Amino acid sequence: MKKILIVEDDILIAEIERDYLEAERFETSICQNGQEGLKMALEEDYDLIILDVMLPGISGFSICREIRREKDVAIIMVTAKKEDIDKIRGLGLGADDYIVKPFSPGELVARVKAHINIHELLKSKNGSGLAKSYDFEKGSIQTANLKLLPLSRQVFCGDREVELANKEFELLYFLASNPNIVFSKDALFDKIWGMDAMGDTATVAVHINRIREKIGIDKENLKLIETVWGAGYRFRKK
């Protein structure tokens, strides 16, 4: 049975989410406090976390950031604000999706199922649970001072490992796997997030900027992802 953590300070909303999820045979836990929710997320194993943005003690954005530093778990952020900046910030911190209140519980359940399936597929494709003797260099990409290991989902700038969120890694690896080809924001959004995902192409720009910041500890790497004005982005490889 898949385990879901609901971090939501409005108990009525949390109980509605729980009832719909349990009707679909998910095991759910509810936490109304940000600090306690973060502790539960880090200490226990969940298949997906439903994370409200506005929480007492610590914001959902901060919780998302901390979880991403430690775990690769699906995260859906919930917000009552419709401003794009909240949505972009949520996705830029590593959230897999967001949903704006008020929403249909049925829609939430559908997204939960979709993201759990996506994460399971990614884990199976990227060697989760493989023996230690497995060749994690398989499928690796190296250019300039950057090395990507898809099976272990690791990124190195020289000898230094750089931590990327799930979508950041997928986006960088896709571009690096298709060097010198210009991809529009729409094409990248459809490829990485899926045609049915909620969001907009601004999410792509946020993720590109975060990738540049992280791999930019080596200045040579700043030249790898180029912005082609009016067209999109390409990974430059000579």
The CATH number covering residue 35 comes to: 3.40.50.2300
Q: What is the model's pLDDT at position 207? A: 92
Note if the bond before 150 is cis, omega within 30 degrees: no
Tell whether 190 and 102 lie within a shared domain: no
Whether 225 has a pLDDT exceeding 70, the answer reads yes
78 in helix, strand or coil? Answer: strand
Tell whether 159 and 76 lie within a shared domain: no
Q: What is the model's pLDDT at position 2? A: 93
Give the residue numbers spanning the domain of 155.
141-235
Banded pLDDT at 123 (limits 50, 70, 90): low
- Residue 136 falls inside a structural domain: no
Q: What is the model's pLDDT at position 143? A: 83
Q: What is the model's pLDDT at position 196? A: 55
Q: What is the model's pLDDT at position 41? A: 96
Per the structure, the count of domains in the chain is: 2
Q: What is the model's pLDDT at position 131? A: 36
- Residue 131 falls inside a structural domain: no
Angle separating helix axes 202-215 and 166-177, nearest 10 degrees? 90
Strand order in 97-100's β-sheet? 27-31, 3-7, 48-52, 74-79, 97-100
Residue 76 near residue 111 (C-beta atoms within 8 A): yes
- Residue 130 falls inside a structural domain: no
Tell whether 231 and 146 lie within a shared domain: yes
Cβ atoms within 10 Å, residue 105: 15
pLDDT > 70: what percent of the chain? 84
Using only C-alpha atoms, the chain has a radius of gyration, in whole angstroms, of 18
Tell whether 20 and 112 lie within a shared domain: yes
Tell whether 11 and 90 lie within a shared domain: yes
What's the whole-model pTM score? 0.56
Copy the structure tokens of residue 114.
Answer: 């979709």
- Residue 79 falls inside a structural domain: yes
- Residue 68 falls inside a structural domain: yes
Angle separating helix axes 185-193 and 166-177, nearest 10 degrees? 120
Whether 136 has a pLDDT exceeding 60, the answer reads no
Whether 203 has a pLDDT exceeding 90, the answer reads no
- Residue 8 falls inside a structural domain: yes
